Amino acid sequence: MCITSAGKKTEEGRSGSTERMERIIASTLRAGVLLSVAVIVLGLCLSFARHPEYATATGADGNMTGDSYRFAHSLGETGAGVLRLEGRSIVTLGLLTLIATPVIRVALSFVVFAAQRDRAYTVITAAVLFFLLVSFLVGLAG
């Protein structure tokens, strides 16, 4: 721990703000991960509790993993399914939480850098957010 302590001291102000950022990022990611795990587990438990035959019907896995399996793939359908307490829609909600986690991480970093008046990194995170948004829109259109 001692080799770089001198170097760290000279950069105290900057490394302090970086460490705050690291804490915020780690907490955001952990919250996103824990929330999505809880929701996915809940959804899977609901599915298996409602359909005891899932544990006994040999050869039936293809019905769930195959092309004929019907499930929500828009935000509206997923929301409606969650309100009906449908297991598979709740799993999807958990997966969407997981997908959103890195995006929220970038958005939060942008806000924190802006508050710290770190101009270079405010621009950098804004650019990442911009490209994310564009690729999202392009992907949905294409």
Partner 1 sequence: MTPLESAVVAFFCSVVAGFLGSLLGVGGGIIVVPSLTLLLGVPIRFAIGASIVSVIATSSGAAVAYVRKHLSNIRVGMLLEVTTTAGALAGAFLAGRIGGGVLHIIFACVMIYTAVSMLRFNHAEGRADGVPDRLADRLALHGSFHDESTVRASPATQGIEATRQQGTETLGSKTARDAKILNASSTGSEVSYRVRRTPSGLALSLAAGVISGLLGVGGGIIKVPTMNLVMGMPLKVASATSNFMIGVTGAASAGVYFARGDVNPFVTGPVALGVLLGSTIGSGMLGRISSSVLRMAFVLLLLWVAIQMFMKGI
Q: To the nearest whole angstrom, how small is the minimum distance from the Cβ of residue 67 to partner 1?
A: 5
Does 10 bind partner 1 (CB under 8 A)? Our answer is: no
| CA dist list (Å): 129 to 85, 102, 119, 125 | 33, 11, 15, 6
The one-letter amino acid code at 38 reads A
* CB-side neighbour CA atoms (13 Å) of 46: 17
Are 109 and 22 spatial neighbours (Cβ–Cβ below 8 Å)?
Answer: no
> How is residue 74 annotated by DSSP?
S
Closest approach, Cβ 114 to partner 1, in A, equals: 13
The least distance separating partner 1 from the CB of residue 34, rounded to whole angstroms, comes to 10
Instruction: Please compute Rg for the chain using Cα positions.
Output: 22
Nearest alpha-carbon partner for 24 in 111, 90, 93, 121:
111
Touching partner 1, residues 85-124 (CB under 8 A): 88-89, 91-92, 94-96, 98-103, 105-106, 109, 120-121, 124
Q: Between 59 and 78, how does the x/- string for binding to partner 1 read (CB under 8 A)? A: xxxxxxxxx-x-x-xx----
Among the listed residues 33, 49, 85, 111, the single contact to partner 1 using CB under 8 A: 33
CB of 64 to partner 1, least distance (A): 4
Tokens of 67: 């092309």
Out of 12, 58, 84, 117, the residue judged to bind partner 1 by CB under 8 A: 58
Q: Which of 57, 85, 111, 115 binds partner 1 (CB under 8 A)?
A: 57
Judged by CB under 8 A, the number of residues near partner 1 is: 76
